[in-house]
Amino acid sequence: MGVDEFLTGGRLRRITRWGEPVMHAPTEPVTVFDDELHTLIRDMFTTMAESHGVGLAATQVGVGKALFVYDCPDADEIYRHGVVCNPVLSLPEGSERNFESAEEGCLSLPGAYQPLARPDFAVVTGQDAYGQPIRVEGTGLLARCLQHETDHLGGTVFGDRLSGRLRRKLYGQAQELAHLYPDDWPLSPKATSAVDKPASSPSA
């Protein structure tokens, strides 16, 4: 069975915010690939879609397990979706590594974006929803997403990778927009604003 069975039928979960302990601690490996895990995966896809994200780690719904889901375009603007349990990230080295700077956001710090340079190609290996080996190659935004979500599972948020100046700007943006996002968002919907960020800057 493929990942398509998990794309619908889940329930919304609250998105965890930066500062909550689960967001800043390493996760535990997934060892049991059962109905409970599949329910979590289904809920994560539903929550990600409702929040207009391109990736979501289990820590972002308050679960300290090493898995993430994604529905994200690659460099060719082809949307790819999947789930990776126990991911191991591999990046090019030396002259093979090309950095691309682009605005990055996070559903767990909603509304705030700052530029961050990351390699434009990434490979993640791990296991699928049934424990079978899986390998995902990412280019463009998908490469960024794979790095962002794997970071989450190690307790790292992308703000940790910013300079102090950009981190302060990021937090300032988040504070300005905090009134739009209820504490239980997306269980309660986001308030509307005339200055919403364009959809060209997706969050993960």
Phi first, then psi: give them for residue 56, nearest 5 degrees.
Answer: -155, 125
Residue 110 tokens read as: 């909603």
Q: Three-state secondary structure along 71-87? A: EEECCCCCEEEEEEEEE
Identify the DSSP state of 116.
E
Residue 164 tokens read as: 């102090």
Residue 42 tokens read as: 């289904």
- Rounded CA separation 52/6 (Å): 17
Q: Strand 121-127 vs strand 79-90: parallel, antiparallel, or unpaired?
A: antiparallel
Whether 149 sits among the annotated catalytic residues: the reply is yes
Q: 122: closest CA among 59, 60, 75?
A: 75
Q: Which is catalytic among the residues 28, 93, 104, 149?
A: 149
Q: Are 67 and 30 in contact (CB under 8 A)?
A: yes
Amino acid letter, residue 191: A
Catalytic residue list: 149
